[in-house]
Every structure is written in C-alpha cells, then in structure tokens.
Chain A
Amino acid sequence: MTRTKAAADGPGIAEGPPAVALRDATAALGGRPVLRGVDLTVARGETVALLGANGSGKSTTIRAVLGQVPLTGGELELFGTPSARFRDWRRLGYVPQRSTAAAGVPATVREVVSAGRLARRRFRPLGREDKAAVRHALEQVGMADRMRDPVESLSGGQHQRVLIARALVAEPELLIMDEPLAGVDVANQEVLADTLRGQVEQGTSVLLVLHELGPLAPLIDHAVVLRDGQVERVDNPDRLHDLACHPHGSVPAAEAAPRIETGLLS
C-alpha cells in the first residue's frame, strides 16, 4: 500500500531501492503479537511518520526495522538488502525516546555525541575528523556551545537535541526517531523541525514515530497510522483530519481538509 503510493507520488525521491521496505511484518513481545502484518516503505529522501495510539505497535515497528525486535514473519529490506544480510548499520541513525533516568556517571554532551561516531570508527581511535564531525553535529542542533556541559544539566528539549546530534554524527542516510517531540517545549520543537528540515534537504530519509505532527507536519511525505499492530491507513498529512470519521483503511476522498498540527491522536 505504502510502496505503491510512494512510487506513485513521492516528491523528490532519489534513485535506488527504498531505505526501508517492510512487508507483512509480524512480531511478538513476550508471546503477545504486537505487529500483525505491517507494510511500510520509506523511499530514499522520503519522510514517513508513524502515528497511532499507545500500544498500536509504532515503537515495535521501528525497533524491528533497527533489528532490535526479531520478526516472526514477513520481510524486511534495508537499502535493498535483506535484513539478515544487512551489516552496514552506520547508514542508520537512531534517536531513541529520551530516557528520563539519569545515568550513573556524569557525561558531557561531547562524550555522548562521540559515542555515535563509533558507528563509523568501531574499534579505531577517534581522530581530528571525528572531532570535527562531533562539532558539526552539535552545530546542526544548536548545541555546540554546550559541548562541555554534563547532559544531566540539560532540559528535556536540549537533551533530545543532543541525542539527535549523536545520531547525525555518523552521517546516516536514514534517520529513525522515536517520539522526538515527547516532553519537548514549543521553542525546542521548532529547533528540532529546523534540524530535520536541513537533513531532509540533504536527502536523508526519515522514519519517525509521532504522537502529534506539530511543527514537523510540513516535512512529512506520508503518515502511516497503525492500529492494533496493523496499518490502518496511509495518507499525506494534509489529508489527515478526523480519523474517527474514516475507520479502517477507508481513505477519504481527494478533497484536502485543513491541516491539524497538534493533538492528532491523543
């Protein structure tokens, strides 16, 4: 469903196989089926939002894409390579949901972001190029002046920006974000939207879980709405309005409804 759609009307999509191609994916957590046949495609340069109520399988879907939740059925291809053979993890940048638990030992912003660079360096020591990459990633999220500060001293929004820098520092081709706006104030949401816009303009593919589109709405090419581990509907965000009126895959008629930016599915 998404695939055909992406091929048909995705704007400005680069050549090559899609960054993510998930077909009829099923997965279970603790014996309970969480994904029950999810199709999801993120074409190159495309930004796809996963929406849905709590427990609908959004986070499990992206964790399956990242190889952190094993699929019990279906297929996953990353950049055209079946996931079982995929080794090029540095092409993926992951921004987890910001954890509220403080770490046991203090760490500076620079130290946390440098950890992201291991995706490229692995066991080789970090050099001048890596230091420049760390600075550049922090500049992209507007946190370069906090490099030496402990992450514990940051606000929720600033912490989120640091986690995004940690993903960007490896210069990924696909950015995967789990609820980047959760607990982030409006001013920081705008900064995040700017950062993401910069990435999209550079051709980075983006897959992100959202509760509400907020200031990210203009960036999103497709919104995939999950419900009970299945794709309920796929749409362009400017057509998304009152979901309750259009249950279960009945895509509304072509007329564009006014865009709703916040509180979409809360």
Chain B
Amino acid sequence: MIEMLDYAFMQRALLAALLVGIAAPAVGIYLVQRRQAIMGDGIGHVALTGVALGFLLSTNPVWMAVLVSSLGAITMELIRWYGKARGDVALAMLFYGGMAGGVLIINLSPNGSNANLTTYLFGSITTVSPQDIAAIVGLSVFVLLVALGLRRQLFAICQDEEFARVTGLPVRLLNLLLAVTAAMTVTVAMRVVGLLLVSALMVIPVAAAQQATRGFAATLGLAMGFGVAVTLSGTVTSYYADVPPGASIVVIAIALFGLVTALAAPLARARAARNGSRGGPRGQGRAVAGGAEEGTLVADGKEHADNGTGPVDRPSRV
C-alpha cells in the first residue's frame, strides 16, 4: 500500500484525487439543490472540445478546457435565463456539439488521436503531469473559495431564486460565477475521473449524504467527506487493478450510495421510535393536523419519520 507512494505519478494522482474529491461535491451540491444535476455532464461534453483544441494548437489541454467549458457553462446559464420552451433542445445541441467538436478537432490535430481522448474521457492516473498539478491546485483553491466562501449566498439563490433577487443579491452575477466555477470543477476533475464521469462525482456524494442528513451545511460537509473517500479509494483501486480511475471511483461511489441508503431508513425509524415514545401521541397529532399537506409527507417513509423526530419535545402551536 505504501510503496505506491514512491512513484511521483502516484503522488500527483492522489493529490489530484484528494482535491477533486473535495471540490466536486462542494460545487455539485448547488447544482443538485437547483435540480440541475445534469449540468455538470453537459459542461464535461463541452470541455472535450477544449481538450481537442489544446491538442490542435499544441497548448496545455487543461487551460484550453477551462476556457471552452467556461464559455459553454455561461452559454447554458444564458439559455436558462432567456430560453423559454426550446431551452432543453438548445442545451442538448450544446452537449452534442461539444462532443462532436472534440472528436472532430482531435482527428484534425497532428499529434492527437481518439486514444488521447480516452484518457480525458475516463481519467488516467499515470498522465497527471506536474503542470497539470499546478493547474489543478490553483483551480481547486478558486473553486473552494467560491463554493464555501459564498455558501450562504449560493444557497439562497439555489433554494429560492426569486426571493434571493428580492433581497437584493446580485443573482445573475452569482449564477454566472456558479456556472464558471462548475466549469472549473469539471476541468479539475477531468484528469482523474474523466469528462464523461465527472458529473457523477458532483452528484453521487451529495445524493448519498442527503440520505443521512437533515440540513444543508451537514449535507455539504458529509458530501465532501464521501467525495474524498471515493476518489482516494478509487484511485488506489485503479493502481492495483489497472482500470481507469474514473470507472473505479464511480462504481465505489454508487456502492457507497447504496450502503448509506440501506442504513438510513432503519436509522430514521429508530430515531422516530425513540422520539415517538418521548413525544407520545402529541407528536402524531402534529403530523395529522396539517390535513392534505401532511398526507403527501406520510406517503414517504423517511419524511414521515423525520416529521415525528427532531430535538423537539414540545409540539409547536398547531
């Protein structure tokens, strides 16, 4: 286990995996909150054109990918503002166009082939170069400054955009910043997880964490912990099993999601039972008082369990 750390490429790969594991869920949580989980996927497709352009122009593919995917993310945000009924079609065309443009350009470039693309599509631990590490560290710091430093503002715009506008927050600016930050996250993650699977790392740790949490801050923290756990273990697996790290990371992430989901339901039930015996029938009375609204909550086991739980001994004035 330790001897793999003797290899410089492995040190770089693990450092990159660590940063990606922290950064991807930290940005992904806002996309999930706004039900735009698929946006990371779209940015990944567009970034492919940037990577190919990097090959064609013989510049660093990472910086070219940052540029092109940021432009793509801003375009998606603009489509979301102004797009009406045809917004989804416009987005789909952007996705396909990014993918097709990447394959087209890479085959036109003198020293590129589809084989080069594969390492960007599914990740590769052996190809994280020292220059890449510099880019990954710099971009990760920016991404984390935005995602954590502006968490209250980003939470507000993703939770209720119209309310955020009324409070006077610069919502459009924050939306654009979030889009560019998501694009940078995709670029940071592409060397390790690969462009096709990067969205999984932005979404699955968040989805797993929210099975077990009750608040946004707790979900954010746990998702980052899950993110680091799956990227590091996936990268190590990739070293021993000689599979692309993107694949092993995503498979481990899904397994973790399944595990947390399986554990969350009995935990919530136990919590509900504990509180139920304490709060007694009054707690149940509260659940019924809301009438029709409560009916929808009762249909979902977990929500219902939450409803009866919590650090509440005194029922509210219902």
Residues of A within 8 A of B (CB): 66-68, 87, 89-90, 92, 94, 96, 99, 103-108, 110-112, 114-116, 118-119, 122-123, 126, 142-143, 145-146, 148-150, 152-159, 166, 170, 183, 185, 187-188, 191
B152 at the interface (CB under 8 A from A): yes
A148 CB contact (under 8 Å) in B32, B156, B215, B307? B215
Residues of B within 8 A of A (CB): 29, 32-35, 37, 150, 152-153, 155-156, 159-160, 162-169, 206, 210, 213-217, 219, 286-287, 289-294, 297, 303, 306-307, 309-312, 314, 316-318
**How many Cβ-Cβ contacts under 8 Å join chain A to chain B?**
142
List 5 A-B residue pairs with CB atoms under 8 Å apart, sorted by A's residue number. A87-B168, A90-B167, A104-B32, A105-B206, A107-B159
A89-B168, A185-B291 are known; give 12 further A-B pairs, CB within 8 A.
A90-B167, A94-B163, A105-B29, A105-B33, A105-B206, A105-B216, A106-B213, A118-B169, A152-B303, A155-B293, A157-B293, A187-B318
Residues of A within 8 A of B219 (CB): 105-106
Contact A68:B162 (CB < 8 A) given known A118-B169, A123-B153, A156-B290: yes
Contact A115:B318 (CB < 8 A) given known A68-B165, A94-B166, A155-B293: no
Per the bound structure, the CA–CA distance linking A114 and B187 in Å amounts to 33
Q: 9 tightest CB-CB pairs across the interface, nearest first?
A: A155-B290, A156-B293, A89-B168, A119-B167, A108-B215, A153-B306, A115-B156, A105-B33, A149-B310
Contact A185:B159 (CB < 8 A) given known A106-B214, A145-B312: no
Q: Give, as a whole number of angstroms, the nearest-CB distance from B178 to chain A.
A: 14
Interface core residue of A66, A153, A159 (most chain B CB under 10 Å): A153
B316 CB contact (under 8 Å) in A99, A107, A142? A142
Per the bound structure, the CA–CA distance linking A110 and B35 in Å amounts to 22
Q: Give, as a whole number of angstroms, the nearest-CB distance from A108 to chain B.
A: 4
Per the bound structure, the CA–CA distance linking A111 and B213 in Å amounts to 13
Residues of A within 8 A of B210 (CB): 105-106
What is the chain A residue whose CB lies nearest that of B216?
A107
Decide: B290 and A96 in contact? CB cutoff 8 A.
no
Residues of A within 8 A of B306 (CB): 149-150, 152-153
Per the bound structure, the CA–CA distance linking A107 and B163 in Å amounts to 16
Residues of B within 8 A of A116 (CB): 163, 167
Q: Give, as a whole number of angstroms, the nearest-CB distance from A123 to chain B.
A: 7
